[in-house]
């Protein structure tokens, strides 16, 4: 009888642990993301459950609030990859480019321009940077900016392509300039390629300079992700982690800038 009561007590304890552990895990995750941050998000603005279940949202939240690391094209805080063989770097980069092309982010002309440029190692340089958080950044640009090279790429002498990907290949920053004059991708297309089109609460944002023909922008409070594509030059895509308070401040700044 005593053994039976002990077993029943153990079973109840096991059930209680199953119910409590997920909340403990979320609490520990919030602590990991915010305690080491240079500034903690305002009370009540920890990443919501939907955001915790999205690997990209978790990663960007950590970069923004724990590492204070920019993912918007700067190489500050990144490590130049000098260990990987250049041929392997080129192959890895072109693999990412092919994925973007298959997802409709790059068309056939853009894909061919990237491939032709990256293979012209005399005139163009491809560099790769890494971040401890598991991200990689590629920059493809002329070795001597301002000089118009002769040869097979003379049609795009100042071609520039910069991209940041997660370890899973999700693009979080794309900047393509001075390439073929083709129709740029829509924000829907990029989000679908990134696997973020299933986020349920994307809300369109009308921002000065980034609406209509100039681009598109959306915000998800559940994942605290802000996505934007602008068509200045050719196209630039950004995916940023922002708390609701940060988003409101950003919108106010844009409104003030537009009014001024």
190-228, pLDDT tens digit by residue?
Answer: 999 999 999 999 999 876 544 455 789 999 999 999 999
> What's the CA gap between 128 and 218, in Å, rounded?
29
> What's the CA gap between 229 and 188, in Å, rounded?
10
Q: What is the pLDDT of residue 27?
A: 42
> What's the CA gap between 213 and 211, in Å, rounded?
6
Tens of pLDDT, residue by residue, the chain (260 residues): 445 445 445 444 444 444 444 344 344 334 433 333 333 444 457 889 999 999 999 999 988 877 777 788 788 889 999 999 999 999 999 999 999 999 999 999 999 989 989 998 888 999 999 998 889 999 999 887 655 544 444 556 678 999 999 999 999 999 998 778 788 899 999 999 999 999 999 999 876 544 455 789 999 999 999 999 998 778 999 999 999 998 888 888 777 766 65
Strand partners, 164: 137, 173
200: exposed, middle or buried (C-beta count within 10 Å: 0-12, 13-18, 19+)?
exposed
> What's the CA gap between 240 and 95, in Å, rounded?
24
In 10 A of CB 17, how many CB atoms?
10
The single-letter DSSP state of residue 213 is: G
Residue pLDDT, tens place only, 8-22: 454 444 444 444 443
Helix (H, G, I), strand (E, B) or coil at 237: strand
> What's the CA gap between 191 and 170, in Å, rounded?
9
Q: What is the pLDDT of residue 46?
A: 85
> What's the CA gap between 24 and 30, in Å, rounded?
10
Token pair for residue 83?
């260990």
């Amino acid at each position: 009888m005593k053994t039976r009561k002990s077993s029943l007590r153990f079973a109840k304890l096991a059930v209680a642990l199953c119910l409590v552990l997920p909340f403990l895990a979320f609490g520990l995750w919030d602590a990991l993301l915010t305690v080491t941050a240079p500034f903690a998000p305002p009370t009540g603005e920890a990443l919501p459950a939907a955001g915790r279940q999205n690997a990209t949202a978790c990663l960007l939240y950590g970069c923004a609030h724990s590492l204070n690391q920019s993912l918007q094209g700067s190489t500050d805080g990144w490590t130049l990859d000098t260990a990987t063989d250049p041929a392997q770097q080129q192959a890895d980069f072109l693999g990412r480019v092919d994925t973007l092309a298959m997802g409709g982010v790059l068309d056939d002309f853009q894909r061919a321009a990237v491939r032709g440029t990256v293979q012209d190692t005399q005139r163009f340089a491809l560099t790769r940077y890494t971040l401890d958080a598991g991200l990689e950044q590629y920059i493809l640009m002329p070795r001597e900016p301002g000089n118009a090279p002769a040869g097979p790429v003379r049609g795009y002498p100042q071609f520039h392509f910069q991209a940041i990907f997660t370890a899973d290949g999700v693009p979080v920053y794309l900047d393509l300039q001075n390439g073929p004059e083709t129709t740029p991708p829509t924000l829907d297309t990029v989000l679908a390629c990134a696997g973020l089109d299933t986020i349920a609460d994307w809300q369109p944002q009308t921002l000065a300079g980034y609406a209509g023909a100039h681009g598109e922008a959306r915000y998800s409070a559940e994942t605290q992700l802000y996505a934007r594509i602008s068509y200045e030059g050719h196209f630039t895509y950004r995916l940023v982690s922002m708390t609701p308070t940060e988003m409101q401040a950003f919108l106010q700044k844009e409104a003030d800038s537009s009014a001024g």
